[in-house]
Amino acid sequence: MDINVIASISLSLFLLMDPIGNIPIFISVLKKVKPSRQKFIIFRELIIALIVIIFFNFLGEYLLDLLKVSQPTIQIAGGIILFLISLKMIFPPIRGANHVEEENHEPFIVPLAIPFVAGPAVLAAVMLMHRSTPTSIMLISIFVAWVATTIILISSSFLQKLLGSRGITACERLMGLILILIAAQMFLEGLVLFLNR
């Protein structure tokens, strides 16, 4: 089993899940929920997100086969998607605690599980990566990224106090920079495959 491949895929998915950038959003959505119940809700929503991501991991291959999408197309499209997401992480729209509409009840599935953790970018990436990666490696990578995301979001209140708003912004932009490098590599590999057909 290739540890380097697992580490690479896990890092990509972790960056796309963007747990650091989601800390203020999770805190805002859960601010009216009792502190004793907040961690339970976060864990429940992350379990739902994990199930959705794994579902798309298995569905993706059949969907791409049905659409007759080639490997170069997958990699080029994946690189473009990741690049656009990365730009938003580095140059984010102005958002704060009021970015998410206040919830008058306990959130369920939306918006925490979907789209903030299992968002379109994560689901697209899983579908694209699954085509060229063994299932066992994909599942391990998804789980590693999910565990790291869970640890950060369960500790969201503590991390926000520790890092402050500027620290969280700096971390999110650093993640975006790393993701741009991964996106460029994916695009170039897809281009090489296309030109060599």
CB atoms within 10 A of CB 171: 18
Of residues 48 and 1, more confidently modeled: 48
- Mean pLDDT (whole number) for 35-56: 93
Q: Is the pLDDT of residue 6 over 90?
A: yes
**What tens digit of pLDDT does each residue of 121-153 get?**
788 889 888 878 899 999 999 999 999 999 999
Three-state DSSP at 108 gives strand
Query: Letter for the amino acid at 144?
Result: V
pLDDT digits (tens, 9 = 90+) for 17-30: 989 888 888 887 88
Residue 86: pLDDT band (50, 70, 90) is confident
**pTM: predicted TM-score of the whole model, two decimal places:** 0.77
Say whether 18 sits in a helix, a strand or coil. Answer: coil
pLDDT of residue 141: 96
User: Could you tell me the two tokens for 191?
Assistant: 């281009």
108 bridge partner residues: 110
pLDDT beyond 80 at 109: yes
Query: Cα 165 to chain center, whole Å?
Result: 20
Which residues make Cβ contacts (< 8 Å) with residue 75, sequence separation at least 6?
128, 186, 187, 189, 190, 193
Please name every residue paired with 46 in a beta bridge, in sequence order, or none if there are none. none
If you average pLDDT over every residue of the chain, what do you get? 84
pLDDT category at 102 given cuts 50, 70, 90 is very low
CB 125 within 8 A of CB 13: yes
- Return the DSSP state at 92: P
